[in-house]
């Protein structure tokens, strides 16, 4: 088999992992960045634990999930930021009109997710876009040649007391296509640092059982002072 054929076979194998609704539901749930037990994911996906275990085994073997065991519990999480980015960007390709909420509760949850959510380890939805747009407007982030923090942007993180973890394995700033806004928001090490700081300081809090987040009154004040974002844009 040629190298080209090998890549084709690998791509087909990856596509087959995603071409199952139960496995897709698990991957989307794990975009909250946390580790879930197999039982939690089984209930979320609406399948038996034995069925879910088989699906998880395939996702782990395919490199999309990593697993950890603590006592009798088996925890799984997305393997890394690249796996998370793949899931989020593929979800962005799903036509919005093709996915209809089945209940008032699901409609409310989807509205909350659209307002603000975590996308693996960074912020997304209208909240993520408000932050991305404000940083771009203030010259902290460039989008003209791909996403990149400017020197002023790096300095801003330091002034705001948000530590940046620089690594050769991960870009400082990366564009991630938002599946509700259909525009790219800030990801990468800078996006992760901003999200972590927002949750640690109480600027944002998680709501519900999904990955929805909302900005607190203190977060509104801080983000207004740091980036000039109005409270209305954060709600």
- pLDDT for 109 beyond 70: no
209 vs 86 pLDDT, higher one = 86
Contacting residues for 188 by C-beta, under 8 A, at least 6 apart: 122, 147, 170, 171, 172, 173, 174
| pLDDT confidence of residue 164 | 93
| pLDDT confidence of residue 182 | 83
198 vs 94 pLDDT, higher one = 198
Count, residues in the chain:
235
| pLDDT confidence of residue 113 | 85
CA distance 175 to 164: 17
Average pLDDT, stretch 167-174?
Answer: 85
| pTM for this entry | 0.75
| pLDDT confidence of residue 147 | 93
Percent of the residues in the chain that have a pLDDT greater than 90, as a whole number: 53
Question: Do residues 208 and 112 touch, judged by C-beta distance below 8 A?
Answer: yes
- pLDDT for 3 beyond 90: no
Considering the four listed CATH numbers 3.20.20.120, 3.40.50.1820, 1.10.10.10, 2.40.37.20, the one that applies to the domain covering 3-79 is: 1.10.10.10
Phi and psi at 127, nearest 5°, equal: -60, -50
* Burial (Cβ within 10 Å: 0-12, 13-18, ≥19) of residue 69: exposed
- pLDDT for 201 beyond 80: yes
Percent of the residues in the chain that have a pLDDT greater than 70, as a whole number: 91
| pLDDT confidence of residue 137 | 96
| pLDDT confidence of residue 170 | 84
- How do residues 113-130 score in pLDDT, each as one tens digit? 889 999 889 999 999 999
179 vs 26 pLDDT, higher one = 26
| pLDDT confidence of residue 100 | 60
179 vs 83 pLDDT, higher one = 83
Task: Return the domain boundaries, the chain.
Answer: 3-79, 96-234
| pLDDT confidence of residue 153 | 97
Question: Do residues 44 and 25 touch, judged by C-beta distance below 8 A?
Answer: yes
Average pLDDT, stretch 188-201?
Answer: 96
- How do residues 206-226 score in pLDDT, each as one tens digit? 987 668 899 999 999 999 999
CA distance 16 to 20: 7
């Amino acid at each position: 088999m040629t190298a080209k054929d090998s890549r084709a076979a690998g791509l087909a194998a990856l596509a087959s992992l995603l071409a199952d609704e139960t496995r897709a539901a698990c991957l989307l749930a794990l975009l909250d960045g946390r580790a879930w037990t197999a039982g939690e994911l089984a209930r979320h996906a609406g399948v038996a634990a034995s069925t879910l275990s088989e699906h998880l085994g395939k996702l782990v073997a395919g490199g999309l999930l990593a697993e950890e065991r603590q006592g009798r519990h088996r925890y799984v999480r997305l393997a890394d930021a690249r796996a998370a980015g793949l899931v989020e960007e593929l979800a962005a390709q799903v036509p919005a009109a093709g996915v209809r909420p089945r209940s008032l509760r699901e409609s409310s949850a989807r509205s909350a997710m659209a307002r603000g959510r975590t996308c693996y380890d960074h912020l997304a939805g209208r909240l993520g876009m408000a932050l991305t747009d404000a940083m771009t407007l203030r010259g902290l982030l460039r989008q003209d040649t791909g996403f990149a923090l400017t020197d002023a942007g790096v300095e801003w993180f330091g002034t705001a007391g948000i530590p940046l973890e620089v690594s050769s394995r991960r870009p400082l700033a990366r564009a991630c296509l938002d599946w509700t806004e259909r525009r790219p928001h800030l990801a990468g090490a800078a996006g992760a640092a901003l999200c972590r700081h927002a949750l640690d300081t109480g600027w944002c809090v998680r709501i519900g059982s999904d990955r929805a987040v909302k900005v607190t009154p203190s977060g509104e004040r801080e983000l207004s002072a740091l980036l000039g974002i109005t409270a209305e844009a954060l709600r």
